[in-house]
Amino acid sequence: MSNRKYFGTDGIRGRVGNAPITPDFVLKLGWAAGKVLARHGSRKIIIGKDTRISGYMLESALEAGLAAAGLSASFTGPMPTPAVAYLTRTFRAEAGIVISASHNPFYDNGIKFFSIDGTKLPERCGRSHRSRNGKRDHLRRLRRAGESEPHRRCRRNAILSSVKAPSRTN
C-alpha cells in the first residue's frame, strides 16, 4: 500500500497556508530531513526554488529546520528544477531540495527532494513499513541497509515518520 499522505507523484504540493504547505510543517520537515541526513556525515544540502513569492518564506522555514538539526544549506536562489538536480549530483551533495509547484497555480507551492545522484526519490520510498509490533521501523531498516543507493534514495520514509513525531527520532 502506498503512503501518499504528504508525498504525491512529485514531492509535497499544495496551497500555501494550508497543510502541509505551511511554515510550521516545512520547518518540521527540514528538521526531520536534517536529522536523517546528519547521521550520514555529509553536511552539504543544496536548496533551490522557483520565483513564487511564497518560496522565500518556505525556504526560510526549511533552512531553520535544517539548522536546528545541525546542517547548513547552499542556496541557489531562483533556478529551474533540473538545474538543482544537476548541482546536487555535480557537487555530491547529500540531498537537493527544490521549492516549486511547477505548472500549478501561483497560490500553490511544493517541496521536492533529490538524492545524491540528482534523481528524484522513487515512489516506493513513500511506502509505510511497520515492524511486527506496529511501530514504524524506518530508521532500523535504514541502518541495516548501509550506504547502498536504495538507502540514499529511501531516506524519505525516515524523514516523513519524523515529521509527525520529532521526539521519536532522538
pLDDT per residue as tens digits for the range 18-54: 999 999 999 999 999 999 888 877 678 999 999 999 9
The DSSP call for residue 47 is E
Please report the pLDDT score of residue 37 as a whole number.
Answer: 87
Please report the pLDDT score of residue 110 as a whole number.
Answer: 97
Higher pLDDT, 149 or 40: 40
* pLDDT of 129 higher than 80: no
Q: Would you state the torsion angle of the CA atoms of residues 124, 128, 132, 133, taken in this order, to the nearest 10 degrees?
A: 160
Domains located in the chain, CATH noted: 12-118 (3.40.120.10)
Higher pLDDT, 138 or 13: 13
Please report the pLDDT score of residue 41 as a whole number.
Answer: 72
Higher pLDDT, 82 or 147: 82
The strand pairing partners of 110, in sequence order, are: 13
Q: Give mean pLDDT, residues 154-170.
A: 48
Burial (Cβ within 10 Å: 0-12, 13-18, ≥19) of residue 143: exposed
Please report the pLDDT score of residue 43 as a whole number.
Answer: 74
Please report the pLDDT score of residue 36 as a whole number.
Answer: 86
* pLDDT of 55 higher than 70: yes
**Do 70 and 41 meet the contact criterion of CB atoms below 8 Å apart?**
no
Active site residue 60: no
Point out the catalytic residue in the list 42, 60, 102, 128: 102
Q: Count of CB atoms within 10 A of residue 141's CB? A: 15
**Do 122 and 149 meet the contact criterion of CB atoms below 8 Å apart?**
no
Please report the pLDDT score of residue 90 as a whole number.
Answer: 96
Q: Count of CB atoms within 10 A of residue 117's CB? A: 13
Q: Count of CB atoms within 10 A of residue 46's CB? A: 26
